[in-house]
Amino acid sequence: MNRCLSSRVRTLLSVSDGNLIEPPKLDFVLEGKPGTIAVASFVSALQNASGILIGVDTALTRRRQPTVEWYVQDLRIGSLQTTLIAKPRHGKGALEYSRVRADEIASAVVDGLGEVEGTAIVPDLFSDKSMRHLQRLGSLLKKNGAIGFRVIKPDDQREARVTPRVAQNAKQALMPRYAAQGAVIGRLDVINVHTAQQFTVYDEIHRRPVRGTFAPELIDVVKDALSKRVLATGIIRRNAANQMVSIDVVEIEILPDDATLPTVAQLVGSDPDFTGGLPSDEWVRKTREA
């Protein structure tokens, strides 16, 4: 990164992120009796936890590449504890970084792990790939001396503990139990045609990536819809918690972005009788309550 770009990044970070002075941090702790945990278990735990971080990052920002790079700030071998600190990625991606966003990613990871520990659900911002990382992380425990894995966010004392139960819950959360016709609205991304015709739709309501499969004849439509807001209609498969796991797409409609939709003020300006004589804020309130 050149000197001018580095200066610009530092300026953006210092001005735009309010009172968040210190970069967000996360502590990863692999629990077990010292001298009994295999190195392979420790490395695999860090890899899968890192995979969850990347998945939440890309789901939050809806970018193909993560915006945050997590660096090892401290490594305590005695307790197998690693402290990670958030920093901008190298290159042009550094301009996409913000401390606020990195903090939201860290919080979403800790909160999501806590949710899966309690029940078989897919947390917000967790893709099926992130859930598979979580499943593998939970499966490591009670093997090679590892008995638990904790994730701690020191600045606000958020904490979640991954146990073998998490692996089972993560597996169940990805298992479809019901199937019915339906639709999902979101931005279409990450087309994959190597093993099967698939893409990801970032569900606007739950901020959760939903995997979509489609027939080969829809490939041109899918390509046209890449990175656009779409209405995908088809057979939706849901887990036991009634969450969307995937959709077998039959039809795709490209929708206008929110930025191109008219505001209430613009609608009223074009048709004074649009709200029936009510002030626009009262009309919006009554419409939502209807």
Annotate 21-33 with DSSP letters as a single string.
-SPPEEEEEEES-
Compute the distance between CA of residue 183 and CA of residue 197 in angstroms, rounded to an integer: 18
Compute the distance between CA of residue 287 and CA of residue 106 in angstroms, rounded to an integer: 36
Q: How far is CA 132 from CA 51, 139, 205, in A?
A: 10, 10, 22
Residue 249 · residue 214 · CB < 8 Å: yes
pLDDT value of residue 40: 87
pLDDT tens, per residue, the chain with 290 residues:
444 444 444 434 444 444 447 899 999 999 988 788 888 888 999 999 999 999 999 888 877 788 999 999 998 876 789 999 999 887 766 677 889 999 999 999 999 999 999 999 999 999 889 999 999 999 988 787 888 899 999 999 999 999 989 999 999 999 999 999 999 999 888 787 777 789 889 888 878 889 999 999 999 999 999 889 999 999 999 999 999 999 999 999 998 876 554 454 444 444 455 455 555 555 545 544 54
Sheet holding 25-31, edge to edge: 68-76, 81-88, 25-31, 148-153, 158-162
Compute the distance between CA of residue 275 and CA of residue 262 in angstroms, rounded to an integer: 14
3-state DSSP assignment of residue 184:
strand
What six digits make up the tokens of 27? Answer: 């502590």
Q: What is the pTM of this model?
A: 0.76
Q: Which residues pair with 203 in a beta bridge?
A: 186, 208
pLDDT value of residue 35: 82
What six digits make up the tokens of 68? Answer: 């945050």
pLDDT value of residue 3: 43
Which residue matches tokens 């009262």?
Answer: 282
pLDDT value of residue 253: 93
Question: Is the sign of the CA dihedral 53, 54, 59, 62 positive or negative?
Answer: positive
Compute the distance between CA of residue 58 and CA of residue 54 in angstroms, rounded to an integer: 6
pLDDT value of residue 7: 41
Residue 253 · residue 229 · CB < 8 Å: no
All structural domains of the chain: 3-173 (no CATH), 178-259 (2.40.50.140)
pLDDT value of residue 1: 44
Compute the distance between CA of residue 168 and CA of residue 278 in angstroms, rounded to an integer: 53
In the chain, alpha helices (H): 3-16, 39-61, 99-118, 128-140, 164-173, 219-225, 264-270, 280-289
